[in-house]
Structure 1
Amino acid sequence: MTDGHAPGAPGGPGNAHRALRDLVTAATVRIHRAGAGYALDEPGTFLGSGYFVAPEWVLTCAHVARSGEGGEVTVVYETGPGRGTSAVAGDVATTLPPHVEGVVRGSWPAPDLALVRLRESVDHDCAYVTERPVAYYEEAKVLYSGWSVVGGELRRVNGTCTVQGTLGGWSEGEQIRLGGDVLPPGVSGGPVVDPVRGEVVGVLKSQADRGLGGTCTGVEQLRSLPVPTGEVRGEDADLYQAVFRAHDRYHRDRQRHPDYDGNTWADVQGQLGARPGRAFSPFERTRLLGRLADLPPPASTGELFGILESLLGSHAAIPHPAPRAWRDGLGALYESSRQDGALELVIDYVVRVMTAERPFVDADTKSAERALWRWAWRAAESLGVRYRRQLAQRKVESLRPLLNRAEYQAEAQRARALAHGAEGAPRPYALLELEQLGWERDRYDWRVSVGRPDGEVVRLGEDKRIPLAELTGSLAAPLAEAFRQCDQPWRPAVLQVALPHQLLGLDVDAWRFAPDAPPLGAHRPVVVRCADREQLPDEGDFIDRQLPADEEQHEREARWRWIHAYGGKAEVLDCEDGLRVSVPSTESLRGLPHTTVPVLCRYGDHRFEDDPVALLRIVHGGYGVALWRRRPRQPDAVCGEFHRRVGDTIAEAGSAERLPEVVHALRVGLRAGLRETNWADGIALFYDDPSLHLPGTGDLLEAP
């Protein structure tokens, strides 16, 4: 599976090859019928194999995925050595070819590929998929992995095959013929790996009718997935781009994760001696692909063609299927680069990528462009003064329109935020106040009120000493009345939940008032407020230095006004490159810009300070808006997707006034099973308007 550009480790299977097998095994899954329940170890529910190509995405054969019923399957995977297996439901998102009539069960015409998307977010390992233009180059050995029924039991199977040639042409889904080993039933859908470069190049398709071997499909066939016909407003509009941008970001984030002590794919590729495109190391390649994945994709395949032809000449061979993503273009350069010009060619490509037309611009585009410029400049240090001078001139010429575009986007965002603020008249809201009894920690007093647009707060009901397990039953009727008084047609009112600082993490949005009812947060916007600011612990406990009450109130009001007029910017406080860190001191938080919206990624990880202390510092820092997620994570979980998505969400909301509705929409999406919202599982919004005094804490009158 190699053309000789990357010499492998000598001496046969060594430590690097064993490590490669471990990585392949960790990413390989087995596919079962939907609803298999406790019969996951029973061969009768087993359909075939597959492997994770990106977070929440499994690549397998169409004939495997479509052997289930209704486009639903169960994916069984291992979360790590010794951790046992886990199962998660998945849906067949697409197949190639997409529509097939009269197919015999268990068969599918070439290329016979399917992408399965998990219904929930789980932590798992992903394979590294090649970005090279075609999987087959010459006779070579490849590794394979999968599952099969051996002796009546489901067992892992791996082995080695040799490339014998091809079957069919590119227009009919070219397949690679394999020989040299028996491919047992069940391994269809499993990964095929180039052991020299240490990357997945194909999917096992079929076994030979007689003798050894069978066929596999190159992963490049996924480029033939349908292209969106309408306007592309975001990454999720194009399935191919969504999967492989997530793939490249995952491997970038995994490589730089400081709390991960296992081998990464780049580690093993480095041990194998791979040199991608003769231009840089696997580590550099992983970082570059991650940066390219932070950019919006090409506006079209024609746009990408134009860039490649400008670099390679009009007679350069364009592979089939045509490249579609920035990573595909980079892989195409590998086949045309000269030894003395490989790095220069890649840098020239990156510069053209940064100045290409965009189908859309998101909150991270500007920073991604700047990061790529920094990469290009550092990479050019070895290419001489003349080339660097040319690069600097191109940067000046190219950056001007980028800045103009970024400034335009910022102005447009501010205009939308101000317009929204002008239109947004005060609306009624429901208010739930909970107080934990100091002498009975498992019991609560509650009050339900309605906040009217004129500022008056009307009490509807209250009760005392209610156990936590009985709260929903006690609150059902008064909250229903509050909602009836506040809701507008097609626009449910916000529920503000005022909690003491120790309870700010309470998952009120997950409450259900009937067994078949949706979670409260999927029914309406739910935000939390701090009910005991005046009684927060003093500097002798957790806070380094308190401000006088009037100064703290002034700081709160100033921050609140700013992010509602101009929008906010996410600042993850407790996680750096996937490693849990302590939340900065309150004094440090006060020094952050007024655009800052604090975000907690590792809420629930008690290896450092308690979560209430982290939230307490945010409250004391003068912040009225913050986000966190309550979903427990493994210490080494990759969280780059959460960081990116929460940053996009806050930036795209414009005025912070929209955040309650935005978070509500995410919870509705989670309830509906929309995969693009999985990153927001367990999200909580702190939204504490300093102008809305809680009853008894301000000078507002309270109705009897």
Structure 2
Amino acid sequence: MGAPLVTDGFDDLGRVLRSTVLEVLPGADIPGGTAFFVAPGFALTCAHVVGGRQGDVLPVRWDGRALTARVVHAAPSSPGGQPVWSPPDLAVLRVADAPAGHPCVWLGEQPPPEGTPLHTVGFAGEHATAEATPAWPRSAGPQGVRGAAALRLRGDELAKGSPGSPVLDLTTGEVCAMVQTPHRPGDAYGGLAIPLAELRGLPIALLRELWRGHDRHHGADGSWAYAIDRLRDRRTETVRPEVAELLDPAARLPVLRATEEARLRGLLALLPAAEDAYQLYERACGGPAAPMPAQPLLDRRDVIGALDDVARARRGELHPLLVLATELIPRYLAAERAVLRAWIDDLAVRLGQRAQLARHTTAWTPTPAELSSVLLEVTPAGHDQQRYLLSMSVYRSRDDVRCLAQQDEPIPVPELEAALRRLLRLGLGHLGWGRRVMVELTLPPELLDLPVDEWVLDHDPVPLGLVRPVLVRLSDEEESGSRPEAEERWDALSADGDGMSFATVGCGVDVGPTWFYAHLTRTNPAGALLPGPTTDRARRTLLEVALRAGTPVALWSRVGCERHGGPDGAGTCRGEAFLADLEPRLRHRPIGALPLDVRQLRAAAVEARDENHCGHRLVLLWDNPFRRFRGTSTLDAQW
């Protein structure tokens, strides 16, 4: 028998490791063995331990309690005529009746080098006892098994019931493998283990569910991470990196302590899943020239490991891990933002990068394309323009749009404002009520002048449109068919160094839709300016023509013109004054800057106390095709 490694942190980890293991009870065609908790309600074991019986419900035992586990994944499903099952020999169990707060192992993906001391705990099996048996083997390096690399174990006897047992690397404090078979033919001791890098072969949705549960657990309970840090601090071969070494381009030293990593990954696991891992990685590293990650980035959590591998920052610049964390701040609610900011501040102090952090934070101003949004959609209930269906989603990125509410009962016009206010409060509550949140409304033509930007909500003492950008879109049942063309047009307008150009409709001028469409086709402007509200049916028709012609931006005033709006035709022409004031302010501005520009114009009108200012009751229609509502037939379960 081997002897346990004596090191600070081992006693803690050994005790917790024992508390994570479950006994998989044998049955008909079920050999039985060991499993271990990796996330709340989820355990890993070998496929052969459960007979490859995906979908079956099996009895298991944990801490003397009888529980049930469903095999939600098992691969392969049979031995294929071999004495040792082919790789990955991996099964995932969902233990629905697992007690709340049960411990989970800390998973690692790096196989241990030859000679590394290991520790495992499995059930004896042959002694018909529920007692778990510890062992202290060592790594004997990789062993090829039908095209895959298993891990050879030597130096201690593994119990017959040990398949499925966690293998703890005593130099890193991570569970890096799982016992597959207690011995190899011809070996008195030792056996084979499955490296947990095999988890990456799981279905991506299941893998993310496991990792997110794992990370939330260790983000909330830092005891395992604390023990890992104690282990690392006491290892004689570890030299604590000084800041100068950390920022040395030649250095290849780890950056995050385990407790720091657990807190950051726990925060990441609170966000909805999304496909933006590579974008985050490149942004943190300063652009597309970022070094290629050592392994594919299957989820945002992989970005942390990839940036820790970079392990350096360019001289005088903020470390990529801190850049990543600052990029994530707008995606959280207020309480979570405070935790993330504290994490950023603590790491910046430890790395000696407070000055770089201050410069980065000051310099970073998100563009509208990067802002989160509350997305409200109002659609007529059939052909009834007096009753409407509502839905609300939150947008964090192109790949992260979540429907939070959907009204199945039509809302009559008198109740519409109250219903929209409730949805706004719900959406802003999820996104944190910050200034870096837009409000985007898709409305039918008759509601485009709904004064949502003038509403005052509970958390804001001033109108909504002064706190954050508020914009509208026109409902269009056929928009999906023209989306590629709209995206191409938007990209071209965004890349135009001359900025915005506008077609204007003069106040009181009788312009027909055919002439206006031909004019737009010839001049190809980025936007259209209308002199007054769209409650005027002729003006609303021109707006619809502009959108059909591919013009994605329009602006107008909700205030009518005294000269051209009444039967007497008295007073000044406010419409022409509005156009003359607004057009030069926005001419040559980037199309992406308009939501923030319009918010500033609204604020300028209030500050000037001038109802003739072009920002007074100004409406922006800004139809960015990359920020679309998604289908809302079902609500997102995790919300």
Q: TM-score, normalised by structure 2?
A: 0.52
Residues 114 and 139 in structure 2, CA contact (< 8 A), matched pair in contact too: yes
Which position in structure 2 is the counterpart of 1:163?
139
TM superposition shift of 1:374 = 5.1
Give the partner amino acid of 1:251: H
- Preserved CA contact (<8 Å) 1:563 1:594: no
What is the deviation of 1:564? 7.7
Q: Please tell me the residue identity of whatever aligns with 1:324.
A: L
1:250 CA drift (Å): 1.0
Match of 1:24 in 2: 17
Q: 1:366 to 1:273 in 2, by over 3 A?
A: same
Alpha carbons 1:67, 1:106 under 8 Å: kept: no
Instruction: Indicate the residue corresponding to 1:147 in structure 2.
Output: 123
The share of aligned pairs that are identical, in percent, is 21
Which residue is 1:486 aligned to? Answer: none
Task: Check whether the contact 1:176–1:215 (CA below 8 A) recurs between aligned residues.
Answer: yes
Q: In the alignment, which of 83, 87, 93 is matched to residue 72 of structure 2?
A: 93
CA contact (8 A) 2:393 2:404 kept: yes
Give the Å deviation of 1:26: 0.4
Residue matched to 1:541:
none
Aligned equivalent of 1:535: none
Q: Residue 370 of structure 1: CA displacement?
A: 6.8
Q: Does the CA contact (< 8 Å) of 2:176 and 2:195 recur in 1?
A: yes
Report the Cα distance in structure 1 between the residues aligned to 2:314 and 2:195, rounded to whole angstroms. Answer: 30
Indicate whether 1:420 and 2:407 are aligned.
yes
Q: 1:116 aligns with which of 85, 88, 93?
A: 93
Give, in whole Å, the separation in 2 of the partners of 1:88 and 1:24.
19
- Corresponding position of 1:267: 226
Instruction: Sort the Cα spacing of 1:352 and 1:224 in 2 relative to 1 into closer, same or farther, 3 A.
Output: farther
State the secondary structure of the residue aligned to 2:24: strand
The within-5 A match list for 1:553-592 is 563=422, 566-567=425-426
Change over 3 Å in CA distance of 1:195–1:221 after alignment to 2: same
Paired residues of 2:23 and 2:130 also in contact (CA < 8 A): no
Residue identity matched to 2:70: D
Q: Which amino acid aligns with 1:350?
A: A
Are residues 1:392 and 2:377 paired? no
Distance change in 2, residues 1:310/1:179 (3 Å): farther
1:200 maps to which of 151, 170, 175: 175
Match in the other structure for 2:561:
none
Residues 375/26 of structure 1: CA separation in 2 closer, same or farther (3 Å cut): same
In structure 1, the residue corresponding to 2:87 is in which secondary structure? coil
**2:107–2:176: 8 Å Cα contact kept in structure 1?**
yes
User: Deviation string for 1:449-479 (max 9, x for gaps)?
Assistant: xxxxxxxxxxxxxxxxxxxxxxxxxxxxxxx
The TM-score with structure 1 as length reference comes to 0.48
Residue by residue over 1:274-321, the C-alpha shift from the partner in whole angstroms, topping out at 9 and shown as x without a partner, is 5896324332222111112122334066557756876896654623xx
In the superposition, relative to structure 1, how do residues 340 and 138 fare at CA in structure 2: closer, same or farther (>3 Å)? farther
Structure 1: which 5+ residue stretches go unaligned?
1-10, 37-43, 79-84, 228-237, 256-263, 356-360, 426-558, 572-591, 596-661, 667-675, 680-704
Aligned-CA RMSD value: 4.6
Q: Which residue of 2 aligns with 1:511?
A: none
1:437 is matched with none
- Counterpart of 2:159 in structure 1 is 184
Q: Secondary structure at the match of 1:154?
A: coil
Question: 1:22 deviation in Å?
Answer: 0.5
Q: Secondary structure at the match of 2:221?
A: helix
Q: Name the structure 2 match of 1:461.
A: none
Partners of 1:295 and 1:365 within 8 A in 2: no
Aligned 8 A contact 2:284 2:320 in 1: no
Secondary structure of 1:174's partner? strand
The 2-side partners of 1:25 and 1:408 are apart by 48
Opposite residue 164 of structure 1, the aligned amino acid is A
1:365 shift after superposition: 6.8
Q: 2:39 aligns with which of 37, 43, 54?
A: 54
Measure the CA separation in 1 of the matches of 2:178 and 2:18: 14
Q: Of 45, 48, 72, which aligns to 2:57?
A: 72
Query: How many angstroms does 1:212 deviate by?
Result: 2.0
Distance 1:220 1:305 in 2: 21
Name the CA distance, whole Å, in 1 between partners of 2:419 and 2:98. Answer: 33
Which residue is equivalent to 2:585? Answer: none
Cα contact 1:193–1:202 (8 A) shared by 2: yes
Structure 2: distance between partners of 1:51 and 1:367:
33
Matching of residues 429-578 of structure 1 within 5 Å: 563=422, 566-567=425-426
Q: What letter is aligned with 2:197?
A: E
Q: For residues 276 and 266 of structure 2, what CA distance do their matches in structure 1 show?
A: 20
Deviations 1:324-349 (A, max 9, x none): 22333322344442599998232234
Q: How does 1:295-444 map to 2 (within 5 A)?
A: 295-299=271-275, 303=279, 306=282, 316=292, 318-319=294-295, 322-338=296-312, 344-351=319-326, 371-373=339-341, 375-381=343-349, 382-384=351-353, 386-393=355-362, 395-397=364-366, 401-402=369-370, 404-408=371-375, 413=392, 420=407, 423=410
Q: 1:515 maps to what in 2?
A: none
State the alpha-carbon separation in 1 of the partners of residues 278 and 62 from structure 2.
39
Residue 331 of structure 1 aligns with an amino acid whose one-letter code is G
Gaps spanning 5+ residues in structure 2: where? 234-239, 242-252, 379-390, 395-402, 413-417, 431-456, 461-633
In structure 2, what is the equivalent of residue 225 of structure 1? 202
Residue in 1 aligned with 2:102? 125
Note the C-alpha offset of 1:58: 0.3
Q: Which residue of 2 aligns with 1:284?
A: 260
In the TM superposition, what whole-angstrom CA distance separates every residue of 1:375-411 from its partner, at most 9, and x where no partner exists?
A: 334432453465124421453246x544x32344799
Is the Cα contact below 8 Å between 1:143 and 1:158 reproduced in 2?
A: yes
* Alpha-carbon shift at residue 197 of structure 1 (Å): 2.5
Match of residue 215, structure 1, among 173, 192, 195: 192
Residue 323 of structure 1 deviates from its aligned partner by 3.7
Distance in 2 between residues matched to 1:314 and 1:126, nearest whole Å? 37
Distance change (3 Å), C-alpha of 1:280 and 1:27: same
Aligned letter for 2:9? Answer: A
1:247 aligns to 2:206 (yes or no):
no
Q: Deviations over 1:481-511 (max 9, x none)?
A: xxxxxxxxxxxxxxxxxxxxxxxxxxxxxxx
* Higher Cα radius of gyration: 2
The alpha carbon displacement at 1:31 in A equals: 0.9
Give 1:198 deviation, angstroms: 1.7
Secondary structure class of the residue paired with 1:95: strand
Per-residue deviation, 1:368: 5.0
CA distance in 2 between partners of 1:150 and 1:182 (Å): 13
**Structure 1 residue 147: Cα displacement:** 0.8
SS at the partner of 2:112? coil
How far the C-alpha of 1:50 sits from its partner, in A, is 1.0
Q: How far off is 1:176 after superposition?
A: 1.4
Alpha-carbon distance change, 348 to 195 in structure 1, aligned in 2, over 3 angstroms: same
Q: Are the equivalent residues in 1 in contact too, given 2:374–2:392 (CA < 8 A)? A: no
Contact persistence 1:295–1:369 (CA under 8 A): no
Q: Partner letter of residue 395 of structure 1?
A: W
The code of the aligned residue for 1:253 comes to A
Question: In the superposition, relative to structure 1, how do residues 423 and 23 fare at CA in structure 2: closer, same or farther (>3 Å)?
Answer: same
Amino acid at match of 1:247: H
Distance (whole Å) between structure 2 residues aligned to residue 242 and residue 337 of structure 1: 28
Output the CA distance in 1 between the equivalents of 2:8 and 2:302.
30
Displacement of 1:91? 1.2
Q: 1:149 and 1:365, CA in 2 relative to 1: closer, same or farther beyond 3 A?
A: same
**Alignment check: 8 A CA contact 1:418 1:565 kept:** no
Amino acid at match of 1:119: A
Q: Secondary structure, in 3 states, of the residue corresponding to 1:215?
A: strand
